[in-house]
Chain A
Amino acid sequence: MKIAGDDVPLIGITDLSVGFTTRAGVVAPVLRNIGLVVRRGETVGLVGESGSGKSTLALVAMGYLKAGLRVLGGGVRFAGQDMLAGDGVAAIRGGRLALIPQNAGQALTPTIRIGAQIAEALRLHSTLPRADHAARVVELLARVRLPTPGALVTRYPHELSGGQQQRVAIAMALAGEPEALLLDEPTTGLDVTTQAHVLELLRDLAASSGMAMVYVSHDLGAVARVCARVAVMYAGEIVAEGSARQILRTPSHPYARGLIAAIPVLGEARLPVPLDGRPPAPGAVGEGCSFAPRCGLAEAGCLTARGALVPAPGGGVVRCRRADAAVRLPMRRDGALRLALEFDGGGGVLGLDAIAVSYARRSLWDQITRAPRDAAPVVDGITLTLRPGETIGLVGESGSGKSTILKSIAGLIGPLRGSIDLAGVALAPRVAQRDVGVLRRVQLIFQNPDESLNPRQTIAEILAQPLGLYFGLSGAALRARSIELLAQVRLGGHYLDRLPAQLSGGEKQRVAVARAFAADPDVVLCDEVTSALDVSVQAAVLGLLDDLRRERRTACIFVSHDLGVVRALADRVVVLYQGRICESGPADAVYGLPSHPYTEALLGAVLEPDPDHAPRLLAADIVEHGPPARGCAFQNRCHRRLGGICATDAPPAHEIGDGHVIRCHIPPATLAAAQAAP
């Protein structure tokens, strides 16, 4: 056998199958005949929906198997070393080959200083003499572009932002000078602006260090930015592989095309195209093509024989016998253009007037001394009017107060100041003070259906709650109405007797949508309702919400950190930073120029599934522990900051016309000129 040289791939996975044995004694493969080669310095992306086996594959490359899994065949080698045989593997792991698992940043030990955690990684994986470790820690922190690395070593993880924590995790992985880095969803859960920063860092690391990277993600935009080569996984197998350009621009597999079509487009108000159905469970794959049940091009031959990877018409290789037809399938920008709603010019269905919300508890002392109430509440000055049938998109990063606003409308948190009215009638601040008839008209849909559906109730019981409470339905009438509601969210009546755990993520969220619409509400408040879902499922849920509100003229406040998703659904957009409105107006105006500097930063950071698209990093990646007491909320991160005035005076509201408002000390005309220049 040859010693690791240029012709021995760094990571060589050959015909690898991994699986488990079910209770019934059937062998269920999770990975099937995977062949993947990663050469030195190469960046390879693994993409696919949840459950497609991408994380399992990344772990196997390290020689790890999740509990219960075993290798059914094939092998994994790192620089010639068999990673599935015990000897010598431990020396490679963490050193020459490092893994950054999902949420690695959040997984830092909270009670140990940053410097000590990195030093520990050095002790384990570095050959440097002990005396040099302290200097090396600072060097590593600088390498992942953390500001003031010298001062950072004494900080604790919670003092860092999510993006900074993720960088520390990367610095730890770099401690052993790895030849290859495996990253599992390294930016999932980070804000768009932060994600863009981390991706640029990874991209530069790969380019400058000659380190190979395997990047696992469901996010095609992130993969497009970092990876030169992409493998698309479906039901445990690689269905397409090629250069990023080949896979993203001219994909030859119907699944790859479907995935790309399901991503909302920032440029236009279009609904993304959903990919119906769901991936097969392990072991449930038939003889033929695993994608056949969801494939529009499937023909008889697809069902009988599983194809091999063959050269694709669009470049690369593909596992589809009809690839020639697949390359002609419609892709992005072919979703339906969303029709603008017509408003009758009547009053609003929901109005918020100068709402402020604070979580600060007033101590007894504060109450006695009559200390002023919270000077900088988490949410302040929120004024907006929602018209019947209209959708307002509420955009902002994590912690910007989006959920807080929805909760105060729903009466779950009493506002500190301000008032809310429902069709002109003032709403009591808290749920307990509101009539059931009033409560019926405003319904909430939550981010994560695993949290918002009671795991101990069947779908029938879940739907019975609003139907019983608001309409007094029971017995046969209740059942009939429940089946009707399920049909509206495209689920069959047989789901009624299931528990949430027996549904997929997308199906659960549809049940949550059905439960909200069961109340026949005037307003639905949607809190990140698609962020826990795969893009293909997200597209379906977005389409569903759009249909429902169109049919019933239900108004909607749609909260999301994803500008593409908001673009697909919203008539008007409100951009929020630290609980303050930065910009608001018709969607077309907010997504066009001029923009508030924060909106500009958000839009610049959006990733497109296109290898030629480069995000612009504008806002500084720092932690904010709360809104500043005075001045502009965005002052600490603003790239256009004017100076003293931004720190002292609240920015004025400039109305540009048609309800488009920007709150910034820079006049709109100046902003427009600066932003139009390249």
Chain B
Amino acid sequence: MGVLRRMLARPSGAIGFAFVLLHLAAAVLSPWLVPYEATAIDAALMFAPPDAAHWLGTDQLGRDILTRTMLGGREALLVTLIATPLAVGWGALVGIHLGLAGGRLDDVLMRVVDAVLALPWILKMLVIIVTFGAGVTVLVPTLAFFYGVPVIRVARAATLGVVARDFISAARARGHRPGAIVRRELLPNVLDALMVEGAMRWSWMLLAFSSLSFLGFGVAPPTPDWGLMIADSRSFMAIAPWAAMAPVLALSTLIIGINFVADALAKAVGLDRALNAPH
């Protein structure tokens, strides 16, 4: 994997990758590592500031914040790690198909894509959630659907860029079947763009998931979750700022880590385009 090695050779890539790995490790191992029960309420310990027993203090119900922060990314990571490949998968499938087919279907569907992308994401998500209810079983397909739409655009553009190249003409002129051309000539050359896009989509999805939890449409209390924790601690910012600090830091280091990785990946594969496509 030359691309991975080149990505890690960049300082931003190595740092970002370390952040992401750390978070993944924490998510997997935290049930065995946490010092307290996540939902253990202790009224005597309300808003205890950080000390030797509770390194990051406690929240309004006296729950250990370190414990809850370590566990608080598990749902978000689980959901987005399932939804991201789904989004990239279906988006790529449709995008590559449109790039190859062109014509009227392409014209029409790209208008639809533009229209969907023009809507604010929160509106789209809320319509679905209000219709079908909240919860992981709704969120995974919803996220996968909406975050696959911008992938269509990227996959289509990458396909158009590759299809115009002579090695595709050469393969066509030799008479290979379209499937073989896509598999052998096209896919290896759009994979880079899709990888970068996948990383970008993942970070956007994490943000969206946490925002939904924050608004009360994601993870249900008392399950620990960063978005929820930020929402809960909001009212007590003045008396217990540490309660908000920990989940905010956790979420932002993960997002920044993924963005670093995406950025370094893009540079490593020579795709230094602006990485701020709307989500």
Binding site for B on A (CB under 8 A): 407, 410-412, 431, 434, 436, 439-440, 442-444, 446-448, 451-457, 461, 465-466, 469-470, 515, 519
Contact = CB atoms under 8 A, between A and B. Distances in A.
Contacts of A453: 167
Contacts of B172: 412, 431
A466 B189 contact: no
A466 B176 CA distance: 9
28 contacts: A411-B173, A431-B172, A431-B173, A436-B175, A439-B173, A439-B175, A440-B175, A442-B173, A444-B169, A444-B170, A446-B166, A448-B166, A451-B165, A452-B170, A454-B184, A454-B185, A456-B188, A456-B189, A457-B184, A457-B188, A461-B184, A465-B174, A465-B176, A466-B174, A469-B174, A469-B175, A469-B176, A515-B170
B171 interface: yes
A541 B166 CA distance: 19
B184 A465 contact: yes
A444 B173 contact: yes
A519 B174 CA distance: 9
B2 to A, nearest CB: 10
A372 to B, nearest CB: 24
Given A412-B169, A465-B184, A454 B175 contact: no
B76 to A, nearest CB: 34
A407 B184 CA distance: 22
A447 B170 CA distance: 12
Contacts of B174: 439, 443, 465-466, 469-470, 519
Interface in B175-192: 175-176, 184-185, 188-189
Contacts of A448: 166
Nearest to A406: B173
Interface string B184-211: 1100110000000000000000000000
Contact of B175 (A431, A451, A452, A461): A431
A451 B167 contact: yes
Contacts of A444: 169-170, 173
A499 to B, nearest CB: 10
Closest 10 CB pairs of A and B: A439-B175, A456-B188, A452-B166, A451-B166, A410-B173, A446-B166, A454-B167, A436-B175, A444-B173, A451-B165
A461 B167 CA distance: 13
Interface in B143-168: 165-167
Interface residues of B, number: 15
Contacts of A446: 166, 169-170
A412 B166 contact: no
A453 B167 CA distance: 5
Contacts of B165: 451-452
A442 B170 CA distance: 11
A454 B188 contact: yes
A461 B171 CA distance: 12
Interface of B: 165-167, 169-176, 184-185, 188-189
Contacts of A411: 173
Contacts of B185: 454, 457
Contacts of B171: 465
A443 B169 CA distance: 11
B193 to A, nearest CB: 13
Nearest to A439: B175
Nearest to B175: A439
Nearest to A500: B167
Nearest to B186: A454
A440 B176 CA distance: 11
Given A439-B174, A446-B170, A465-B184, 7 more contacts: A444-B169, A448-B166, A452-B167, A452-B169, A454-B184, A457-B184, A469-B175
Nearest to A409: B173
Nearest to B185: A454
B167 to A, nearest CB: 4
A444 B172 CA distance: 11
Nearest to B178: A432
Given A454-B185, A456-B189, A457-B184, A434 B166 contact: no
A508 to B, nearest CB: 12
Nearest to B173: A410
A139 to B, nearest CB: 41
A452 B169 CA distance: 8
A224 B173 CA distance: 42
A448 B184 CA distance: 20
A412 B188 contact: no
A455 B189 CA distance: 8
B1 to A, nearest CB: 13
A533 to B, nearest CB: 16
B5 to A, nearest CB: 13
A515 B170 CA distance: 10
Contacts of B166: 446-448, 451-452
Contacts of A436: 175
A534 to B, nearest CB: 20
A444 B185 CA distance: 17
Nearest to B164: A451
A466 B173 CA distance: 11
Contacts of A452: 165-167, 169-170
Nearest to B187: A456
A461 B183 CA distance: 13
B229 to A, nearest CB: 45
Contacts of B176: 465, 469
Nearest to B176: A469
Nearest to A407: B169
Contacts of A412: 169, 172-173
B189 A454 contact: yes
B269 to A, nearest CB: 11
A492 B251 CA distance: 55
Contacts of A519: 174
A519 B167 CA distance: 16
A434 B184 contact: no
Nearest to B167: A454
A454 B170 CA distance: 10
Contacts of A434: 175
Residue of A440, A446, A448, A515 ringed by the most chain B CB atoms within 10 A? A446
Contacts of B173: 410-412, 431, 439, 442-444
A592 B166 CA distance: 36
Contacts of A407: 169
A452 B173 CA distance: 12
A443 B173 CA distance: 8
A453 B188 CA distance: 13
Contacts of B188: 454, 456-457
A273 to B, nearest CB: 29
A530 to B, nearest CB: 15
A450 to B, nearest CB: 9
A410 B166 CA distance: 13
A515 to B, nearest CB: 8
Nearest to A527: B166
Contacts of B189: 454-456
A482 B172 CA distance: 21
A446 B164 CA distance: 13
A354 B185 CA distance: 34
A452 B188 CA distance: 15
Residue of B173, B185, B189 ringed by the most chain A CB atoms within 10 A? B173
Contacts of B167: 451-454
Residue of A442, A448, A454, A465 ringed by the most chain B CB atoms within 10 A? A454
Contacts of A439: 173-175
A431 B181 CA distance: 14
Nearest to A444: B173
Nearest to B172: A431
A412 B171 CA distance: 11
A269 B167 CA distance: 32
